[in-house]
Structure 1
Amino acid sequence: MKKILSPLFLGIAAIALFTVSCAKSDDTPVYDAAAQFKTDSVTLKNYVDSKFPDAQYDSGTGIWYEILTEGEGNYQYKIVDTLNAKFLKFKPTVKYTGRLLSGSIFDQTETDKTTTFEILTNTGYYYPFESTIIPAWTFAFAPKQIGDLKLSGLTEKGLQKGAKIHIMAPSRWTYGNRATGKIPANSPLDFVIEVVDLK
């Protein structure tokens, strides 16, 4: 009986020791969104200064942008008021290119093709609720405000049909600290978005 218990006891002791040593060696840093935003801000400022000196800075979001083509029309962005919150609702058809700041393209629409998104964004938190776009895109599309409701959009009327915008956004408004496909965690991103249609 002693011969059977000794290896069993040693095995349990080894597992316990391994578990304790793993717990002590876990030095994974805690994600600090504010610190990352500061880092991204410096990175984006250097990027813009060297490549896009005419870009404008939006201090509310930390997004740099250039209006490449003013849109036409007078599309009215709509607020859907529900029992729990207010949502900005719109459906754009676009062409776009997304790049890392290194210049490599991680996503784009195919030549001569477009893509359509259905957007329902919670206006209280500026973060997509039922949306297929990242928050940076919501800021690009949305007007500064609708009535008394401030939306923190980059332009007064929001993007209109035919508009083309270049945005460079901190990771807070892209994918945060999650790696996504070809995009590493904590990546500021560069997008050119052309609005083909709005509904």
Structure 2
Amino acid sequence: MKNLSKFFFLFLLATISIMSCSKSDDNNTDWGEEQRRRDSLNRVRIEALLEEQAPELKAFAETNFGEDAQFDDSTGIWFKIHEPGEEGSYTRWLVPSSVGALALARPTVEVKYSGKLLNGEVFDETSANDPKDKTRSFQIGTDGMGRGLIAAWNLAFYPKQVRLNGNDYNIGGLTEKGLQKGTVIEFAAPSPYCYDNIENKDGEVTIPADSPLHFYIEVVDIK
């Protein structure tokens, strides 16, 4: 079984603050040790949040997703597939990289969606009544610097595994084939896979720090 690098773990590490200061050769070792210490503390913080939020997410899924609820035990994300979409409408999940290895593709997706707090409060959504906002387009994945969609969305779109040229590559997504054109998925994710400890504001706080979130996504197109 061939494995890509720990792709989705990078989404979590993107929340770590890295000191931006000039470093001489003399203090590189000390800086490296300090960064490893920070990384370790951040992992402990994340693991504690996942454990703390697990009961709330389970109760939410049981209430809202019913018997069709599925659980990804590696992330703590609960999800429900309302419509599987057109099988085979998108399969190009791996592409050659600039150094000759394989990298995750970054397809552009057009979606209808809503994002809510677990209490049902909507913080963002497309609008069926606004011709300019009926759908929105995003590029999934990251740009190599950890910038891109939140981890929960990437996990939702990418497949668990890809078979290419006779080899199996573990990707780590939620579903077997990844989301396809026409897929409708609903999921509830712990805060480290959403906006983590960042407080989102739009005049007022729309997403409090450390908030697990609930998304409903209809994939209009993926290419």
Structure 1 partner of 2:92: 77
Confirm whether residue 37 of structure 1 aligns to residue 50 of structure 2.
yes
Higher Cα radius of gyration: 1
Structure 2 partner of 1:136: 152
* Identical residues among aligned pairs (%): 42
Question: 2:94–2:102: 8 Å Cα contact kept in structure 1?
Answer: no
Q: Distance in 1 between matches of 2:102 and 2:176?
A: 23
Structure 2 partner of 1:179: 199
Confirm whether residue 102 of structure 1 aligns to residue 102 of structure 2.
no
Structure 1 partner of 2:29: none
Tell me the CA shift for residue 120 of structure 1. 3.5
Q: Distance in 1 between matches of 2:183 and 2:110?
A: 11
Question: 1:77–1:142: 8 Å Cα contact kept in structure 2?
Answer: no
Q: Deviations over 1:140-189 (max 9, x none)?
A: 11111123221111111111101100010001110111111300011110
Structure 1 partner of 2:110: 93
TM-score by length of 1: 0.76
Q: How many residues align?
A: 165
What stretches of structure 2 of length at least 5 have no aligned partner?
Answer: 1-40
Q: Distance in 2 between matches of 1:52 and 1:116?
A: 26
Runs of 4+ in 1 over 6 A off after TM superposition: none
Q: Where does 1:138-157 land on structure 2 (aligned, <5 Å)?
A: 138-147=154-163, 148-157=168-177
Tell me the CA shift for residue 52 of structure 1. 2.5
Confirm whether residue 68 of structure 1 aligns to residue 85 of structure 2.
no
Q: Deviations over 1:45-102 (max 9, x none)?
A: 1222233222111112111000011101411133232439733321110000001001
Structure 1 partner of 2:35: none
TM-score by length of 2: 0.68
Q: Distance in 2 between matches of 1:189 and 1:129?
A: 20
RMSD over aligned CA atoms reads 2.1
Q: Deviations over 1:8-44 (max 9, x none)?
A: xxxxxxxxxxxxxxxxxxxxxx872111111111210
Question: 1:95–1:194: 8 Å Cα contact kept in structure 2?
Answer: yes
Question: 2:65–2:79: 8 Å Cα contact kept in structure 1?
Answer: no
What stretches of structure 1 of length at least 5 have no aligned partner?
Answer: 1-29
CA gap of 1:82–1:129, structure 2 versus 1, over 3 A, is farther
CA gap of 1:121–1:57, structure 2 versus 1, over 3 A, is same
